[in-house]
Amino acid sequence: MDITEAYKELGLDPSADDAQLKSQWRRLVARWHPDRNRASEAPVRIQRINKAYHHLCQHRSESALRQEDTPSRANPAKAAHAARPQAEKKVVVREVQLTIDEATLGCIRALRGRFTYACRPCAGKGQRLLAQSCKACQGRGAIKRAALFGWLWNEEACEDCGGDGRQRERCTPCEGTGQCSVKYQHSVRLPAGVRAGDVLTVSSTRHGGLDLCLDIYVVIESHPFFVLQDGQLRCEMPVDGYAWTANRWVDVPVPGGLQQLRLNRNALVYRLRGQGFPVAPRGARGDYLVTVVPTFPDTEDAAQQKLIDRLIDASSKAADADPHSPLGQWRQRLKQAVF
């Protein structure tokens, strides 16, 4: 992806300033994040958007550095301006994957990585200009070469100095590559209620003389228990059908652990107040919906059959003994009926 393509991808004009670049990127991430946008092209699109943004940030910081360096000989005013001790800003775009628990409760993440930047002493060129004149051409910028059996002399631009007659030396900090790389480590607090596709900007300490600015965009992983849809936290879990009919307690996963829930044989959906996903980032937590699916064995074994028979016997006797029970009344009516 070249610079023109990157601007096109973000729908921006190259004249856009850094603030416009960032706000447009945020807008596009919010729109195309696969957790929010179900279109089939969304995963590819978000990758392209992030790549374009990263590319443009890199390009801008490097060209700012080059501008600072190049005119220093011709323009002393600019040189004085460039000499002020202002650290260059380096933007690193990072994806952070969170579990639903982490997004619900907030978390601290240690982010480690490495970034490269154009070498400052040589402005990314890999070599430095010295005050002396070029040794190869004695500062003439051109070298004479014999041509046509020495009858004529040709002048050729000096390869060592590129024709400007100045001596160069290989840049030591970057070992002549023009690029330096720095490891960074930064712990980031992600607030409770952070949503997929959210973008957080973290300004970090100096690394290698650069102010590191981490642009983090949040991805929320799928979870073995929880589903988070449109800010509603849910869980669907099978429960023992007999435990359900007996209104027993069961363990239910909640963000951060397990909790006991009393089953109710008349209910399949349970609302756990204040245990859900925050209504707004850093805000109070909403409700958490647990749907239970009572499950029974396909066939009961002999021992289970016996127990069930005893249960039915006991409950039928109780129904018959109670004149108000719907089942008892029904059986009376069946007995008295004449067919």
User: Which residues contribute to the site for Zn ion (CB under 5 A)?
Assistant: 119, 122, 134, 136-137, 158, 160-161, 171, 174
In the complex, minimum distance from the CB of residue 161 to Zn ion, in angstroms, rounded to a whole number = 3
Closer to Zn ion by CB, 134 or 214: give it: 134
CB of 116 to Zn ion, least distance (A): 12
Q: Side by side, which strands form the sheet with 232-240?
A: 226-229, 232-240, 288-295, 269-272
H or E element that contains 55: helix 42-69
Q: Which two tokens stand for residue 291?
A: 């749907």
Q: Which is nearer to Zn ion, 52 or 174 (CB)?
A: 174
Q: How far is CA 117 from CA 50, 55, 88, 110, in A?
A: 18, 12, 10, 22
Helix axes 18-32, 42-69, angle to 10 degrees: 170
Shorter beta-carbon distance to Zn ion: residue 5 or 175: 175
Q: For residues 93-112, b (16+ Cβ closer than 10 Å) or e, as one string?
A: bbebebbbbbbbbbbebebe
Neighbours of 174 (CB within 10 A): 22
What is the full DSSP assignment across 317-337?
HHHHH-TT-HHHHHHHHHHH-
Among 38, 53, 59, smallest CA distance to 94 is for 53
Note whether 167 and 132 are within 8 A (CB). Answer: yes
Minimum distance between the CB of residue 185 and Zn ion, rounded to whole angstroms? 24
Residue 160 or residue 320: which is nearer to Zn ion going by CB?
160
DSSP of 122-190: TTTSSEEEEEEEPTTTTTSSEEEEEETTTTEEEEEE-TTTTTS-EEEEE-TTTTTSSEEEEEEEEEEEE
Cα 131 from chain centroid?
48
Give the nearest distance from C-beta 169 to Zn ion in angstroms.
Answer: 10
Nearest CB to Zn ion, comparing residues 41 and 175:
175
Give the nearer residue to Zn ion in terms of CB position, either 30 or 182. Answer: 182
94 contact partners, CB below 8 Å, separation of at least 6: 111, 113, 214, 215, 216, 217
Question: To the nearest whole angstrom, how small is the minimum distance from the Cβ of residue 182 to Zn ion?
Answer: 14
Nearest approach in angstroms of CB 83 to Zn ion is 18
CB of 73 to Zn ion, least distance (A): 17
Q: Least distance to Zn ion from the beta carbon of 156, Å?
A: 10
Q: Which is nearer to Zn ion, 134 or 261 (CB)?
A: 134
CB neighbourhood size of 232 (10 A) = 13
Nearer to Zn ion, 179 or 247 (CB): 179
Other Cβ atoms within 10 Å of 268 Cβ, number = 15
Comparison of 117 and 184: residue with beta carbon closer to Zn ion? 117
- Inter-residue contact 126 to 176 (CB < 8 Å): yes
For residue 97, the minimal CB distance to Zn ion (Å) is 35
Nearest to 69 by CA among 18, 122, 117: 122
